[in-house]
Structures are given as structure tokens and as C-alpha cells.
Amino acid sequence: MRILAFGDVVGRSGRRSLCESLPHLRRELAVDFVIVNGENAAGGFGITPKICDQFFAAGADVVTTGNHAWDQKEIVPHFDMERRLLRPHNYPEGTPGTGAGFYEDNDGRKVFVLHFMGLLFMPSLDDPFTGIDRALLNTQMGGEIAAIIVDFHGEATSEKVAMGHMLDGRVSAVIGTHSHIPTADHQILPGGTGYITDLGMCGDYDSVIGMRKEASIARFRKKVPAPRLEASQGEATLCGVVIETDDSTGLTKNITPLRRGGRLEATPPMHP
């Protein structure tokens, strides 16, 4: 199975680039399943039902979120209505939606997607390490489940790396999101789990993590109220990874970064 995962989509620029490029990328890369982190898609802050539907129409199979999941109030009931939209699973019981779901590709192969958020320098939630152990209980790859993908949304690289090693051999891949900067540590861990600390963002990199530079700089320089942050509208770079798994084991055979468009150096073409 070939799985394409995109990092945080930021603002109109990131949305436009993703929606225009995704149908072609699905064909070009012969991917079977697509995950998009959309938590910054609405002007940099959250996601709306309309934007969520646009991602699905473009070819996304699952949309994950993160700490900005609730920024747009109209999305809150949508988490209970749309099973393909996930919020971090370690929110307290009773929170709308879920962070775990079973899905199928066009060939009927099952993909289990888990979405958790880290605790270091992030909102206080339930322990993600204990929570993911619980979510994986009685769940094993290689039988009915072809692949298990974990979107771990976190600030601290150490916490993401620790999660990767804890899940090595138990899931197909652990992909980090949230920091908006792509890391260069894509690898297959010793037990066969694909890993990257952060996918990066799908947005304008002539910015401060997707936001207009001037307002962001002012917030660092001045200790008085600064201008409102707004998403930068220059040409976006799409950032993510393509993960190829072994259908018989669910483990990763190859993990390759994807960067297209915008300011960052493009990755070489990938062929199925």
C-alpha cells in the first residue's frame, strides 16, 4: 500500500495548492490512501466544514487536526457528523468527535488512523503514551488491518521521537505534525515502523511558519499588543511523505519526503 500524508495546511495559499495538486499527485504517485492535516486551513486558525469537504473532494481520505481543532466554532458539531475528520484522541471523554478511525482504500484494504497530541509546551490533555497503548489494544497489523498510521501532533521533538520508538514494530508509521518545518530524519526504525519528526506545512514559506512576517516579528520585538496574525498568501510549498507498506505485515518498506512548489527545494520525482 502507498500512503501519502501532508503536513499542516496553512491558509488560502496552502488550501489552493493542495486542492489543485492532490488529484494529479494521487495519479502520479499511484497512492492508495491520503491523510491531510488541516488544522490551520482556515486563515491559519482551525478548519471549517466547507474546507474539510474541499479536501475530501480533492482526494483526501482522512483529515486530522491538532491544537487549533476548535478555533472555528462551526466545525465543532462536524466532528460528530464526519467520521473522516479526526481531532486528537487524547482529549477528555465527552469531547466531540474521535481521534481514531478505520477506513478502506479502493481495494478494500483497511487503514487504522490514530491522531494524538503531545503534552510538552501544548495544552494539557490526557497522557498520549498511555492512550495510544489503549487504542492499539487487540489491534494488530497483517491480518484485516493493512496499515496503522499515527499523526502525532506535538511541539517537542523529543516527545515525538520517544513516541516513534515506543510504537516501533506496532504501527506502520508515526508522522509528526505541528511545527510547520519539515525535518530531515525520515527513516525506518529498527522494528520496521516508518518515522519522521515533522512533515512540515503546506503553505507559504516566505513567512514565519505560515504567518505574515511583519506581524510575527513585531510580536517578538515588542511587549505590547501586536498586529493580528494573518496567513501569508505567497506560493505554497506542499510538504509531506509517501509511505510504502508491506501488505502482509503492515510495516514500512520505504518512506520518502515530498516537497512541491514554492520556495523549498523540490524532492526528486517519485515513481511507484
SS3 call for 51: helix
How does DSSP classify residue 265? P
**Distance of alpha carbon 230 from alpha carbon 215, whole angstroms:** 8
- Selecting among 68, 153, 178, 186, the annotated active-site residue is 68
Q: Where are the beta strands (DSSP E) in the chain?
A: 2-6, 8-9, 33-37, 62-64, 100-104, 110-117, 145-153, 173-177, 187-188, 194-196, 201-202, 238-245, 252-260
Judge whether 165 counts as a catalytic residue: no
Helices 157-166, 128-135: crossing angle, 10 deg rounding: 30
Q: What is the 3-state secondary structure (H, E, C) of 82-146?
A: CCCECCCCCCCCCCCCCCEEEEECCCCCEEEEEEEECCCCCCCCCCHHHHHHHHCCCCCECCCEE
Catalytic annotation, residues: 68
